[in-house]
Amino acid sequence: MNPKSYICDKKTDIFLSIFLVLVTVWLLVIFKVNSAVTILIIGLMIVVEIIRFILDYRRRVAFYLSLLTNVERLDQAYLVLETMERPEFLEGRLLYDILYNINKSMVENVNSYSIKNKDFREYIELWIHEVKLPLSSISLKLHNLIDAESKRNSANIELYKKLQSEVRRIESFVDQVLYYSRSENAEKDYHITETELSKIIHDVAMDNRETIQENGIDLRIEHIENVVLNTDQKWFSFIIGQLISNSIKYKKDVGESYVRIYADTEGYITKISVEDNGIGIPESDRKRVFEKSFTGANGIGHAKSTGMGLYIVKTLCDKLGHRIYVESEFGEWTRFTIEVKKNDYFGVVNITNL
Amino acid sequence: MKKIHIIEDDKGIREELSILLENAGYSVIVMDIFENASEQILAEKPDMVLLDINLPFKNGKDILKEIRRSSQIPVIMVTSSDAERDEIISMGYGADDYITKPYNPTLLLLRIGNIFKRMGAGASLETAHLGNVVIDFRRSIISDEGGNETVLTKNEMLILSHLYSHLDSIVSRDELMTDLWNNSEYLNDNALTVNISRLRAKLADAGLTDPIETRKGQGYILTKGK
């Protein structure tokens, strides 16, 4: 809002004012009023009109200008009314009240969705805990069946083992949903502590042992002793588990497959790599593998990709403040690397505790 | 026979868990009514308790706290909640282990076995006799009649001690794998076969003929040897 646009907007008023002055001049001339008095009256009228416009301009400009600049400056533009006083002039008051009501109804609307969203998430968490019970029961049952059948050398064992591996697949899908729901959660529900990498790798290895062995994968763990990470143990385990299961999913059909996990510390950064000799990722897909629902050439070829695994991994890494990237040679190998920064905060706390 | 008390409100899991533990050679008591759970446990005097967290009447953590007031029996918390808070609280109240569902049954048995082993730590075996061969568990060495010593690798030793602790009964490859992986030795299938044949060769050199038999489709069995 500048004087020019104000004048443009007020052109009718200004025209009427000028018209009024001209009519007055004409009347005064017709009635032969003394010219000194005429000049005095006209002068007074012009001064009053100009003051009226200037006052009006200043009053409005103060309100609209701060409204405009505040909207631009604010990160959340809808909070702008919190920064403003309700203005004195009528149009300003109207605008203010309208904005207030629009804002209120928008906030209510958003709230109703965020409550629904929260309810849904709570239900998902509950559901996951519920569904784990029958899954546990099935996996125990199958274990017991295999135990009993193996004493009779029965042919059913193969069937039960197949069922077992299907149950494990369900379990891993269920976990994926749990972590998806957590990764989308605005609240902070992770807990960063100093964690031994070897413990994380051990847990992941134990959780995935059967799947790794059924697929004939050679798991090579190297240089992870005495590596301590500032991370959330459960989240990090999930991340490594996802990377391993990706390596298994995209292994080559022939030859010996391996998954190699190793760590490398340089200064403040520890790099944890998960490397395989699988089918690799074509260069055109490499940048996009972390995108939601992205299933590249590999995903389509294997027809079992949801495109969610790596997206969740990336989201969790972002939340934890870790950097993740992928390198690959198509047809040869793939390597995912996570960079974890050493957090000085823990050191500071330990020193101040002394 | 060690007596294990199962406190689990999901009927399906409870029944299968009982079968699992009975097959593994434990005697099992189950709880059906969860009122006064801690009194029931203390009255039964089991050797170990498998305790769920989400239970009717009172949650597992509180039950654990009550038991600990008067008893130090080993307690393993078995729960579908993977909330870190539950784990920290449980360990703080004095749980011996914490396992989240769905768990690997072999791993559960191994953890139970480990706790019993730890409890009997004072009497833990340092050496054992297998026929005329002496096994030195601590130094990872076997020696024959004439005192000639053969060094076993870490993996060979792990396999031998696992077989020895299940002397004269069948141990599945799955169990051996679980034990090896649990000791951070991530062997693949071929490597296990190779390790077992090396172990056999070393035992044969020490003068034992065929102490480790293969039971097709079932696993291995260690006998005292001829």
B120/A286 Cα distance (integer angstroms)? 54
pLDDT at residue B20 above 80? yes
Domain ranges of chain A: 3-85, 115-183, 193-351
CATH number of A193-351: 3.30.565.10
Using an 8 Å Cβ cutoff, are A274 and A335 in contact? yes
pLDDT computed for residue B83 by the predictor: 74
User: Across the interface, do B101 and A150 touch by the CB < 8 Å criterion?
Assistant: no
A143/B168 Cα distance (integer angstroms)? 22
Run of H or E including B99: strand B97-100
Q: What angle do CA A89, A91, A94 make, to 5 degrees?
A: 105
Q: B127-222: what CATH class?
A: mainly alpha
pTM of the predicted structure, to 2 decimals:
0.80
Token pair recorded at residue A188: 């902070």
Token pair recorded at residue A55: 């006052």
B47/A176 Cα distance (integer angstroms)? 37
Token pair recorded at residue A40: 């005095």
For chain B, the residues whose C-beta falls within 8 A of a C-beta of chain A are 10, 12-13, 16-17, 19-20, 23, 54, 80-82, 84, 101-107, 172, 177-178, 181-182, 184, 186, 188-189, 216-218
Using an 8 Å Cβ cutoff, are B45 and B64 in contact? no
CA distance to partner chain B, nearest, from residue A135 (Å): 7
pLDDT computed for residue B21 by the predictor: 92
The helix, strand and coil proportions of chain A, stated in percent and rounded to the nearest 5, come to 65, 15, 20
Domain ranges of chain B: 3-121, 127-222
Parallel, antiparallel, or unpaired: how do β-strands A269-276 and B75-79 relate?
unpaired
A165: closest chain B residue by CA: B104
B189/A217 Cα distance (integer angstroms)? 9
Report the CATH superfamily, name and number, of domain B3-121.
Answer: Response regulator (3.40.50.2300)
Q: Which residues of B touch A220 (CB under 8 A)?
A: 186
Per-residue pLDDT of chain A (354 residues; tens, 9 = 90+): 677 888 888 889 889 989 988 998 899 889 888 888 888 988 998 999 899 888 888 888 888 888 888 888 888 888 888 888 888 888 889 999 999 999 999 999 999 999 998 899 889 988 998 898 999 999 999 989 988 887 777 778 888 988 988 998 899 899 899 899 888 876 677 888 888 999 999 989 988 888 898 888 999 998 888 888 889 888 999 999 999 999 998 888 888 899 999 999 888 899 999 999 988 888 888 888 898 888 776 655 555 667 888 999 999 999 888 999 999 999 899 999 999 988 765 555 554 444
Q: Under DSSP, is residue B130 helix (H, G, I), strand (E, B) or coil?
A: strand
A178/B128 Cα distance (integer angstroms)? 48
C-alpha dihedral (A324, A329, A334, A338), degrees to nearest 10: -20
A 149-168: CB under 8 A from B? 150-151, 153, 157, 167
Residue type at A278 in one-letter notation? G
Residue A1 CB-half CA count within 13 A: 16
pLDDT computed for residue A354 by the predictor: 43
Using an 8 Å Cβ cutoff, are B199 and B160 in contact? yes
User: Across the interface, do B12 and A134 touch by the CB < 8 Å criterion?
Assistant: yes
- Give the tens place of pLDDT for each residue, A176-189: 998 998 888 766 77
For chain A, counts of helices (H) and of strands (E): 11, 7
Using an 8 Å Cβ cutoff, are B4 and B112 in contact? yes
Burial class (CB in 10 A: 0-12, 13-18, 19+), B148: exposed
- Give the tens place of pLDDT for each residue, B132-181: 888 888 888 888 888 888 888 889 999 988 888 888 888 888 889 988 99
pLDDT at residue B122 above 60? no
Residue A242 to residues A183, A207, A338, Cα–Cα distance (Å): 14, 12, 13
DSSP A80: G
Instruction: Decide whether B3-121 matches B127-222 in CATH topology.
Output: no
Binning pLDDT at 50, 70 and 90, where does residue B125 land? low
